[in-house]
Each structure stands twice: as structure tokens, then as C-alpha cells.
Structure 1
Amino acid sequence: MFGIRKRPRDPDAPRLSRDVVVLAIIAFFVMVGFGVVIPVLPVYVRSFGAGYAEVGAVISAFALMRLVGSTFTGRLVDWLGERVILTSGIVIVAVSSALVGLAQSFGEVLILRGAGGIGSAMFTIAAMSLLLATTAPSMRGRAVGFYQGGFLLGGMAGPAIGGLLATISLRAPFFFYAAMLLVAGVIGLILLRSPSRHSRDQQHPDASIIPFRVVLADRRFQAACVAALAVGWATFGVRSALVPILVVEALGRTELWTGVAFAIAAVAQTLALAPAGYYVDKVGRRPAIIGSFAVAAVSMLAMAFVTDIWLLIALLCVYGVASAFMGTAPAAAVGDAAGARSGQPVAVFSAVSDLGAVIGPIVAGLLLDAYSYPAAFGSAFVLLLLASVVALRMPRFESARERA
């Protein structure tokens, strides 16, 4: 029509692998369940008479055991394969989550959330290892973005569902979470295949095993780890622990509004994922990290001063757009530094993020107890800005081999 001819697709152009698509589907179900718990968990913990620091401790327990799990999961992946470890991890989180819904004390919640953290580490590391093993270097940003898209699509539905379930019972979301995880586990067991060495070499014909000490000395890996620490502290720590409390206790809204706010922010982040992945692959990891972490730092600090729910939602949306780049660029940088066979570097990258998620909510909770919301959110501001500054040391351009 109108004399315009559609350009034929280049058959040799790199494409997302089948396993990346399946991983995104699994991520969707995982995040629907996790998103249901996000607006409920802090309030659920408070229902046992716990203080703000104890709320942070429960969130940190999950991250702490993820950190512990990261120390051995890389070897388990090499021994048993990505598919088995991924599925086993999901099942562990499902069982522990159902038991959290049956808990009768703060101590039980703390222990069970910690147990779930080990399963979460198994799932996360196995999934990222499989993604990097089946993705061409020039597609890493878009592959990570597509994978995260599964999480975020689930994230759009999860918090809103969690808010609705919380009006019925604070325990109901944990059973829903367990059900969604079991669905994800079945999908992984049936549809995923752990790649053989031959298939890895076909996807990365120039790949060679890079010694871990060389990866550690790579400025791209170093910047990615600082970024992971900041994300763990700010997103999985401060944001998850304090925003629900800010909504209920400072803004005087119900838990439903927390779910609505997180869902709207997830929409903004999802819409930004495709442009972010393209930008990371075509323009570079370095500018993506520098810009996104600086924007996230400012928006995070501003959340502490809001007096209106809609202003908070707007800031969460800004943070969500930045998060599309923050989640994509560092992971792609790890792949650039470590290559296709990156089990140990991925485990370290994941562990650093978990370290931030362990310390972040506890420190933020203590700062809120002792001082104020600005002090608590300010801790995240400092680390996010630090990640932006450290990224200035990254190479300005990737090599031709990494672009191939």
C-alpha cells in the first residue's frame, strides 16, 4: 500500500532463544505471586507486634539466605544443570511461602522467609546462567529486558491482587504465591532444557573460559557489582520495606493503595524495557548505568518528602523507568566481562545484590526508628548515586567481538 514495501527480515540476524522466551513465562508466574506478597508482608509482620526494624529483618532474612545459597548454587548448576536447579528452587520457595501463611509468630515468619531465600537463589542464578548461555552477545540487553518483562507483567497484576486479597485476609496472599510458584516450576521442568557444551559453543563460537580472577579485575564487572549492591539496597530493601509503611502510616491509605502504586509503576517500567534493552545493546552499558542510577537516586530521595499518594505514584513511575535500565545494563555487563560460561560470576553478581537487600532494609528501618523517612530513603540515594559514579570508570566502547 502507498508504494511502501516491508523490509524482509534478515534470516541471519540474532534472535532470542526459545529458552529465553520460556524463562520469561516462568518469570511472569513467579512475579505474580511475589507481587501479591509485596504490599502485604510488612503489614503482616507488624500484625505480630513487630517494630520497623523487625519488618526489615524479615525482608533481610530472605535476602540473607539468598546470599548463603549463592555460595553453592553455581556448583549445583554445573553438576545438575540449570533446569533441575531452577525447578527445585521454585518448589522450595513455594513450600516455605505456604507455611508463612500458616505461621503463628514473628519467629516462624522470620525462619520460613529465610528458608525461601535459598530456593530463590537457586532459581535466580540458574535462570540467568541459562539466559547468558543461550543468548548472543549482541542480544544480551534485549534478552535480559525480555526476561525482566515477564517479571514486570506479573508485577502489574500481582500487587493489585495482593491488595485485594489483604482485604480478605493477610494470610491469603502467601497461599496464592505458593500456587503461582508451583505453576512456574512445572513449566520449567517440562519446557526448559539445560544446554550442552556443544549448544553453548554453537551460540558463542568464539567463547572461551575466562578465569574468574580476570573477571573480577574487569571494570565492567566491578561496576555491575556496585550497581547490583545499590539495586538490592534500594529496590529490594528500602522500596519494598518502607513504601508500604509510608502509604499506610504516613499517608493514611489502605494496603490496596500500595498495590495500586506498585502496579502502576510496574506498567511504566514494562513500557520502558524494550527501549532500554535496545539502548543497552546499541549505545552501551556505560551510559545506561550512569544515567539510570542518577535518576533513580533523585526519585528515591524525593519519595521521603511526599504528602500525596499521587505524587508518590509519579515518583515510583520515574524510578520504574530508571529500573528498566538498571536491571538490564549491569546484567549485560556481567555477560560481557564473563562470557557465556558465567556461573560463578553470575553467582557473585547475585550475591552482591542480596547483600544490599540484607543490609538495606535493616539499616533503613533503624534510621526510620531513630530519625525520619528522609534519613531512611537517603541511604538508598547514596548507594544509587555511587553506582552512577563508579560506572564512569567503565570502557566507553565494547570490543567488536562483544558487538558481534
Structure 2
Amino acid sequence: MQPNTQVKSRAKMLNQPKAVWAVAFASIIAFMGLGLVDPILPAIAHKLNASQSDVTLLFTSYNLVMAVAMLITGVISSRLGLKGTLLLGIVIIAVFSALGGGSNGIWQLVWLRGGWGLGNALFVATALSAIVSLSRTGVAQSIILFETAIGLGISVGPLLGGELGSISWRGPFFGVASLMVIAFLFIALVMPKATPSSAAPVKKTSIMEPFRALKHRPLRIFGITALLYNFGFFTLLAYSPFHMGLEEHGLGYVFLGWGLLLAITSIFMAPKLQKRYGTVKSMCVQLTLFAATLIAMGIWTSTNEVIIVAVIAAGAFLGNNNTLITTAVMNAAPVERSTASAAYSFLRFLGAAAAPWLAGKLAEWYNPHVPFIVGGCFVLLSVIFVGMNHKHVKHVDHAEGH
């Protein structure tokens, strides 16, 4: 009986309107930008005469702008609607990605990546709401579909970056700009202007809504947890490429393996862990395993093979955790899902912005081992923080089915 139920559930999840698949496709392309620069970080450092800490700022500017922009996504989407906001985000990504491909200096590229982050913030904060609104399934399966798109984008991004980057470091930037044009056409032609959940007049939100949402302790707890574990996440993304001893092709394939594991666990393993052990407990276990992986990378930093295997393995822990914590956030507080997503994303991208810069500086100040160990300690701190506040978040295990 159980296998039949799972088969029917997956079949139902795949039976979606064309608009859902259009948003999912655009999400894949948007999230290519996250891992796109990984395989070309050493090449950019070499071609533009930049240090490791300078190059890691490509992640810092991107994530810092995303964090701040998350506060205005609700204001914009409540006025432009989901479709208008998605299209605006796509246009901004395409423009700044193309401009990045034509840049001639590391600081110019850093600023342009920040503009890319603005477009990504508008798109990402709205895409999940759009999929949930348009989907024929519930919130939990919509989140799995969204996380699947994220995983595919994160995995294909480095592969594309490695292939195009082997021709020129500018290639991946122009590649994403071209793909975003295709995504724009998909959304513009397929997605309806109004979603099923927007039949009633849309209430225009203010910039203060995400801050008001953070007054709800469970949402604030998960946001701070994400801020802490993103230190480890983006230390791995931004700093590990310098310690694998690989060129663009090789780095692309390593992060392809990482992204595929992230996508597979998001779809197949995370829901099983959630059902069997509960959201919060499963999340803490995955974060602990990820922290141990980072600390191992810190101990054996000079062994390329260890770094390669650890990066790929980390994809499984991150895939599970991303789905678990996103589901928890959607059920954490009695606020609009788009507002909860914006508030949570504001906090998590602050951690994602600080980590790459700090990793590069710690390596310069001390030695190459320290960034991984510090990242692992931040992830462990997130586990301790959740444990200390368990009584305030345990209700999400009972809410996940609604």
C-alpha cells in the first residue's frame, strides 16, 4: 500500500499546469548563477590579477544585495503581481550577466554581480509563491518541486560554467544572459497574469512586513539558523575551488556531482526523513553531518582528493537540509508565505554574503585550513541554536501536512 501511495503522490506532483513548469524551468536557469562562477574562480583570479579574497567577493556582493532586496520583493510583487515581478527579475539578471561578461576588472565585475543579485532576489522570492499558487498539489510537494529546480540549476550551472569557462571566463556570463531570454519568453507566453489564489484584490504590502514577520519567534529561529549554516554552505562554494587542483572542466564536473546529489536528496530522501523522524530532528542531523564534512576539509585541506570527495558528499546533506528548512519556514509563522520567505531569506543571505569574504581573509590572515574549520563551527552553532529553541519550533512537525 505504501509504495502505491508514493507512486500516486509522485505522479500527482508531475501532473502540473504548463505555467508551473515554465516557472520551474526559469528557476533552474536563475539558480545556475549560484554555482556558475565556481569553476571559473581561479581563472578569473588569474586573468584579472585578483587575490582569492577579491574573487570571493563575487559571492559576497551577489548575496548581500539579495539579502537587502528580499525586504522589497513583497512591496514590488504586491504591485506588479507574481508574473510581472518574475519577468522584471529575469530582465535584470540577463542585463547584469551580459554586462559582467563584458567587464574588464575585478571590482567592476563584483559590482555587476551585485546587480545580478537584485534580479535573483526578485525572481527567487516570487518563484516559490508562484509555484505554490499555480500548483495542483499541496505546499509540501510544491516545495519539493521548487527545491528540485534549485538543485538542477545549481548542478547544471557549474557544468555550464566549466564548459564555457574553458573557452573564456566571460563565456558563462553571456551563456546565462542568453538562457534568461528563453526563460523570459516561457514565463511571458505560458504563465497567466493572475494566479488561482489571486482572484481577490491583492493587498499592497509595505517594506516593514518582513520585519514584522520576524517578530514571530519560530520564523526568527529558522532565519538565524539559516544565517549560521550558510556560513558553511558558501565557504564550501566560494573557497573550495582553490583547493582541488583542477581546471575549469574538472571543477565543473565536481560541482555537477555536488548539485546532482543535492537535487536527488531534495526530491527523494528529505520527504522520507521528514516523515520518519520529523523536520527539526532530521534537519539537525543533516547539519551535524555537514559540519563534520567541513571540519574534515579543514584538517585535510592540502589533500585534493579529500576536498573533491567532501564537496560532492556535502551535496547530499545540503539537499536534505534545504528542503527540510524551507518546509519548516513555510509552516513556522501565521504570515503570508511570500512574506515569510522574504524575511527568512533576508537573514540567510546575510550569512551567505559574509562567508565568502571571511573565508578569503581567514586564509590570508592565518592559513588555508582555517576557513573550512570556522565554517564547520558556524554550522555546529546552528545545530546548538535549534536545540536550545526546540520547544518553539517543534510545532512545524505537526503543521507540515497542511
After TM superposition, the score normalised by the length of structure 1 is 0.84
- Pick aligned residue for 1:377 from 367, 372, 375: 372
How far is the alpha carbon of 1:231 from its aligned partner? 4.2
Q: Does 1:244 align with 2:241?
A: yes
- Pick aligned residue for 1:388 from 380, 383, 386: 383
How far is the alpha carbon of 1:42 from its aligned partner? 5.0
Distance change in 2, residues 1:171/1:9 (3 Å): closer
Distance change in 2, residues 1:82/1:338 (3 Å): farther
The aligned residue for residue 175 of structure 1 is 174
How far is the alpha carbon of 1:385 from its aligned partner? 1.1
How far is the alpha carbon of 1:296 from its aligned partner? 0.8
Q: Does 1:333 align with 2:328?
A: yes
Q: In the alignment, residue 321 of structure 1 is paired with which amino acid?
A: A
Distance change in 2, residues 1:179/1:37 (3 Å): farther
Q: In the alignment, residue 242 of structure 1 is paired with which amino acid?
A: Y
C-alpha separation between the residues in 2 aligned to 1:26 and 1:234?
27
Higher mean displacement: 355-364 or 269-278: 269-278
Q: Is the Cα contact below 8 Å between 1:232 and 1:356 reproduced in 2? A: yes
Q: In the alignment, residue 111 of structure 1 is paired with which amino acid?
A: W
The superposition leaves residues 359-402 of structure 1 with CA deviations (integer Å, 9 ceiling, x where unpaired) of: 11111111011112221112211221122222222343547565
C-alpha separation between the residues in 2 aligned to 1:178 and 1:346?
26
C-alpha separation between the residues in 1 aligned to 2:269 and 2:285?
14
The aligned residue for residue 205 of structure 2 is none
C-alpha separation between the residues in 2 aligned to 1:45 and 1:7?
51
Q: CA RMSD in A?
A: 3.1
How far is the alpha carbon of 1:158 from its aligned partner? 2.9
3-state SS of paired residue (1:275): helix
Q: In the TM superposition, what are the counterparts of 1:38-187 in structure 2 within 5 Å?
A: 38-41=38-41, 43-133=43-133, 139-187=138-186
- Pick aligned residue for 1:255 from 243, 248, 259: 248
User: How many corresponding residue pairs?
Assistant: 384
Q: Which runs of 5+ in 2 are unaligned?
A: 202-208
C-alpha separation between the residues in 2 aligned to 1:85 and 1:270?
26
Distance change in 2, residues 1:82/1:198 (3 Å): closer
Q: Is the Cα contact below 8 Å between 1:284 and 1:397 reproduced in 2? A: no
C-alpha separation between the residues in 2 aligned to 1:217 and 1:68?
18
C-alpha separation between the residues in 2 aligned to 1:31 and 1:157?
9
Q: Is the Cα contact below 8 Å between 1:224 and 1:349 reproduced in 2? A: yes
Q: Is the Cα contact below 8 Å between 1:88 and 1:185 reproduced in 2? A: no
Q: Is the Cα contact below 8 Å between 1:30 and 1:180 reproduced in 2? A: no
The aligned residue for residue 207 of structure 1 is none
C-alpha separation between the residues in 1 aligned to 2:5 and 2:176?
44
C-alpha separation between the residues in 1 aligned to 2:379 and 2:35?
23
C-alpha separation between the residues in 2 aligned to 1:59 and 1:401?
34
Q: Does 1:268 align with 2:261?
A: yes
Q: Which runs of 5+ in 1 are unaligned?
A: 202-210
The superposition leaves residues 83-132 of structure 1 with CA deviations (integer Å, 9 ceiling, x where unpaired) of: 11112112111111111111112221122111111111101111123244
C-alpha separation between the residues in 2 aligned to 1:282 and 1:229?
26
Identity of matched residues, %: 23
Q: Does 1:356 align with 2:361?
A: no
Q: In the alignment, residue 140 of structure 1 is paired with which amino acid?
A: V
How far is the alpha carbon of 1:303 from its aligned partner? 1.8
Q: Is the Cα contact below 8 Å between 2:24 and 2:146 reproduced in 1? A: yes
C-alpha separation between the residues in 2 aligned to 1:76 and 1:105?
32
Q: Is the Cα contact below 8 Å between 1:20 and 1:147 reproduced in 2? A: no
After TM superposition, the score normalised by the length of structure 2 is 0.85
C-alpha separation between the residues in 2 aligned to 1:68 and 1:127?
18
Q: Does 1:288 align with 2:287?
A: no
How far is the alpha carbon of 1:302 from its aligned partner? 1.5
The superposition leaves residues 20-79 of structure 1 with CA deviations (integer Å, 9 ceiling, x where unpaired) of: 544322222334455443311453144222222212223211112112212211111111
C-alpha separation between the residues in 1 aligned to 2:356 and 2:7?
48
3-state SS of paired residue (2:332): helix
Distance change in 2, residues 1:81/1:217 (3 Å): same
Q: Is the Cα contact below 8 Å between 1:223 and 1:330 reproduced in 2? A: no
